[in-house]
Structure 1
């Protein structure tokens, strides 16, 4: 978004990556000057009012990136105020889909959820124009807020991924050694090691396909996954906290990426398909949209063996050449910028200086495994 509108000022709750936007005006909310910046859970009750109090009147238009409460920015739309465009990653999951987000079980979240849901839905009707990052999230927005949205899929670093023919040739000596220990063919599972990512399904897929499994990532479920791996009928290798380059090399080397999580969109499947690796995903969630759009794998309705087994073999037989060619024009960063600008300019034909309000995502600038 910042690249699409290079003249826009940027405002956020707190900025943990001060060097991310050189030469740009980046301001923080009052929360950044308090201990609350270290705890999103503790700051949660203060976020709606903080965003609503954000001054936006001097902007020509306001572009908002929201996965919690940034769509509250500026409060109620006034006739003489700037038009607001809200790009929604999801309505706050811990309020509207707590079964998919463990934070919904947090004591603070549970206590404030009823009142926050009322406020959240009310603010969604304050006059903004909405876009959703997937059709799946558009449907969640309709259920939670009762609003309609355009679908604009998020940007994926396809251009960067496809700029290197062989990521294995870009590895440092430590990563090169790890990569050299991999089997010739393997099933890949990659993400944070947490329950809802369902990395156990990648292990089961390896068993059904008779292929070794590589799990890349880190997290609290490591011991549980290791126990499953110890019982598996195929070898399972763990790669902890892979570098970007090693992750990309894993994509290229894998026979199949198994991505069984229910995600808002799912960046990793697009990355894998852009590098020529087929993907298996579940029908629920946004990840199925990219797989179907690129015809880059298979979508299964259930994680039972009866569905998983044929899905694996169908995906393994995919010709990925068309998916690789279409990835950038469908999901690349340049494609996103074009669509985002068209979305804004359709209502605001001659914007000059805008204001991009709030990237609520983790802004530390390090690799995040989606």
Structure 2
């Protein structure tokens, strides 16, 4: 028996060694908050990532004083500024992460993390936010926004073709998929032909509470990038001069929004959490037009008791209850948003803020942690039965 084979055997009675694999740490946002919630019950588990470039002053508490095990990409100068352009080599980079000493591998994946190499005696659970969108259904939008010249367009298409092949192949290395919404569960079935367990993302609902009575304005808050459809929302309210809109967010499209906004639309740019919370608590409704895999911000708005005008495709179709916690519109167009706003105003008195908040609590962090731990423990027990070892609680045994 080789030395490597000996390392993969599981002695009976010892707790499993757990590794979390995250794509990259560049800022602290949605997927990082999910990782934090998953890691909380297994604090001695090791964390891997392709790169870690979060500034020290912005690092969340669970990453402070913790060594993140990174790939060779970490050593490249100024990697923070161009890592996304290295997509053709990211599959190779993630395959170089050595996980041979671990029993349970949890990948936190929306791009390449699930492509880590694991052995037959290792349990690989993938928390999947989406199959890689820019390689699949958003390929044309990705290439259009990239503005590559002619020859580069065809080279990019060839690389994306190769990545699709790799993406499907590596799905076979995942033992169990977790989908962040029913919408993503359908996408996993479509792309990988695999079933998944739906565990909705965690939302810090305790940080968003009901505030002062609703004001006379609508709120839209997001990064200002094309797929968030913030420009579409502004254009819709430009057509409704009797209704006020407040826009919070930063991004490459900020100047465009400021240029096209009419007098009833206030584009505030980036605002600190305190301002966002106050606006969210006092808005007449929150407007959300993106096709999101889950969509955390609409749930945060509902935790404030604020109804949501939501596009009915993607995660928002599951988190916003039409006629109860908000209203849906069914196409990303100015007339559809205008009609939804008019409908909300006709039934506005029928929205109960306590009912809206109670619905949002179904997506709390506590609920997520319970569901994730229960799934991990069940899959670990079944895995132990499969490889004929004595199951133990998957609490943690750290690699030296």
| Structure 1 residue 323, shift from structure 2 partner | 1.9
Q: Distance in 1 between the 2:338 and 2:266 partners?
A: 21
Name the counterpart of 1:91.
131
1:186 equivalent among 217, 227, 232: 217
User: Which residue of 103, 112, 123 maps to 1:69?
Assistant: 112
1:336 is the counterpart of 2:368:
yes
The offset of 1:241, in angstroms, is 0.6
- Equivalent residues of 1:52, 1:74 under 8 A apart: yes
Under a length normalisation based on structure 2, what TM-score does the superposition of the two structures give?
A: 0.76
Q: CA deviation at 1:332?
A: 1.2
Equivalences, count: 333
Q: Which moved more, 1:203-212 or 1:273-282?
A: 203-212
Report deviation, 1:205: 4.2
Task: Indicate whether 1:35 and 2:67 are aligned.
Answer: no
Contact 1:10 1:355 in 2 (8 A): no
TM-superposed CA distance for 1:347, in Å, is 1.0
In 1, Cα distance between equivalents of 2:258 and 2:96:
48
Q: C-alpha displacement at 1:69, in angstroms? A: 0.6
Deviation at 1:258, TM superposition (A): 0.9
How far apart are 1:56 and its partner, in Å?
1.7
Bigger relative contact order, structure 1 or 2 (CA pairs below 8 A, ≥6 apart): 1
SS at match of 1:249: helix
In the alignment, the residues of structure 2 paired with residue 184 and residue 167 of structure 1 have an alpha-carbon distance, to the nearest angstrom, of 8
1:124-163 equivalences under 5 Å are: 124-162=171-209
Per the TM alignment, residue 321 of structure 1 is displaced from its structure 2 partner at its CA by: 1.6
Structure number, greater radius of gyration: 2
Q: 1:178 maps to which residue?
A: none
**Could you tell me whether the CA contact under 8 Å between 2:211 and 2:282 is conserved in 1?**
no
CA contact (8 A) 1:85 1:130 kept: yes
Q: How does 1:1-370 map to 2 (within 5 A)?
A: 1-17=38-54, 19-20=59-60, 21-35=63-77, 37-38=79-80, 39-75=82-118, 77-78=119-120, 80=121, 82-98=122-138, 102=142, 106=146, 107=152, 109-162=156-209, 166=211, 184-203=215-234, 204-205=236-237, 207-208=239-240, 210-230=242-262, 235-292=264-321, 295-304=324-333, 307-316=336-345, 317=348, 318-328=351-361, 330-349=362-381, 350-353=393-396
* 1:279 shift after superposition: 0.5
**Root-mean-square deviation over aligned CA pairs:** 2.8
List gaps (5 residues or longer) in structure 2.
1-37, 147-151, 382-392
Contact 1:4/1:340 (<8 A) preserved: no
CA distance in 2, matches of 1:331, 1:293: 17
